[in-house]
């Protein structure tokens, strides 16, 4: 019970601080929308290429905006030694990881919804039929992305070139998640059923589980010198 209360406190702290300033959310959302707009201009309206590239564009927007959020969430912790304050508290390192990862995932979910609606309008995509599938895909894709992203941002935040280090470390590891998410999104937008996307969903769920476990266990070694 105490663990649960501490986890809630860790998430509550991140949400409260962010909703008060909205610095991170607004920059993440603006960036994601700009990505969608820029890609929209590169394709002829109503072309077949839009349908084919759409899911990839959507996930590029999510991932790039997500990196922005991951980077800033750990920088805020380091600025006044708050990360050290967390490490000095009687809280397991795994719990600190779960709290930070959950907070990051919530922020990414929050930008995914308006970005997707914007994307659907701009690319003229009828998504209602596959909405339930998309919700599951976004959920699983975001969990995997936020889990590894939180661990790697904790590693990169103490390096001199931290702005560039995070995407360099993150993107290669995230390839399976991004591939599965893009393919599953394409199938869902094409109106395919659960049976046809279940393979991708299993890959996403499998990687989520592996990433969550590995990051949970290794976070201790990242935080300690």
Partner 1 sequence: MSVLPAASHAPAITVKNLVKTFGAFYALRHVSLQIAPGECVAIFGPNGAGKTTFLRILAAISRPSSGEILIDGQPLREAALAHHRRLGVIGHQSFLYDDLTAAENLWFYAKLYDVTPLAPRVDEVLAEVGLRQRAHDRVRTFSRGMQQRLAIARAMLHRPSLLFLDEPYTGLDQHAASMLTGWLQKLRSERRTILLITHDLEQGFALADRLVIFLRGQVAWEKSTRELDHAALRQAYFDLVAGAAPNQRSRP
Cα–Cα dist 102/16, whole Å:
14
Contact 56, 31 (CB under 8 A): no
Which one of residues 85, 114, 191, 199 is an interface residue with partner 1 (CB under 8 A)?
Answer: 85
Give the contacts of 15 (CB within 8 A, at least 6 positions apart). Answer: 103, 106
| Count of residues interacting with partner 1 (CB under 8 A) | 29
Q: How far is the CB of 80 from partner 1 (least distance, A)?
A: 5
Residues numbered 16-35 forming contacts with partner 1, rule: CB under 8 A: 16-18, 20-21
CB atoms within 10 A of CB 191: 12
Options 75, 87, 135, 136; binder of partner 1; rule CB under 8 A: 87
Contacts of 37 (CB under 8 A, 6+ apart): 122
Q: ∠ CA(56), CA(60), CA(63), 5° rounding?
A: 135
> Which position among 32, 36, 57, 86 is part of the footprint of partner 1 (CB under 8 A)?
86
For residue 5, the SS3 value is helix
Stretch near partner 1 under the rule CB under 8 A, chosen from 12-20, 34-42, 64-72, 194-202 = 12-20
Exposed / middle / buried, residue 220 (Cβ in 10 Å: 0-12, 13-18, 19+):
middle
Site residues for partner 1, 90-149, by CB under 8 A, read: 90-92
Cβ proximity to partner 1: between 60 and 87 the closer is 87
**What phi, psi does 84 have (nearest 5°)?**
-65, -35
Spacing of C-alpha 14 from chain mean position: 15
Applying CB under 8 A, among 81, 114, 191, 199 the residue interacting with partner 1 is 81
User: What is the contact mask toward partner 1 in residues 149 to 168, using x (rule: CB under 8 A)?
Assistant: --------------------
- Of 38, 82, 117, 121, the one binding partner 1 by CB under 8 A: 82
The reply to whether 89 sits near partner 1 by the rule CB under 8 A is: yes
Q: Which stretch binds partner 1 (CB under 8 A): 63-71, 83-91, 110-118, 168-176?
A: 83-91
Nearer to partner 1, 15 or 135 (CB): 15
CA 164 to chain CA centroid, Å, is 17
Q: What residues line the site for partner 1 (CB under 8 A)?
A: 2, 5-6, 9-10, 12-13, 16-18, 20-21, 76, 79-82, 84-92, 223-225
């Amino acid at each position: 019970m105490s663990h649960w209360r501490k986890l809630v406190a860790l998430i509550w702290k991140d949400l409260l601080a962010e909703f008060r300033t909205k610095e991170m959310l607004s920059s993440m959302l603006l960036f994601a929308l700009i990505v969608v707009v820029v890609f929209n201009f590169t394709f002829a309206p109503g072309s077949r290429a839009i349908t084919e590239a759409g899911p990839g564009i959507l996930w590029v927007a999510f991932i790039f905006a997500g990196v922005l959020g991951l980077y800033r969430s750990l920088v805020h912790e380091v600025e006044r030694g708050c990360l050290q304050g967390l490490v000095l508290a009687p809280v397991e390192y795994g719990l600190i990881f779960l709290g930070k990862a959950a907070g990051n995932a919530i922020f990414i979910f929050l930008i995914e919804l308006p970005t997707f609606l914007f994307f659907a309008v701009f690319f003229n995509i009828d998504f209602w039929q596959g909405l339930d599938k998309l919700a599951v895909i976004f959920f699983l894709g975001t969990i995997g992305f936020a889990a590894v992203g939180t661990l790697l941002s904790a590693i990169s935040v103490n390096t001199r070139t931290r702005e560039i280090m995070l995407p360099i470390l993150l993107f290669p590891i995230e390839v399976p998640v991004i591939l599965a998410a893009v393919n599953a999104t394409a199938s869902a937008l094409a109106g395919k059923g659960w049976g046809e996307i279940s393979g991708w969903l299993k890959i996403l769920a499998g990687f989520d589980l592996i990433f969550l476990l590995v990051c949970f266990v290794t976070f201790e070694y990242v935080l300690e010198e």
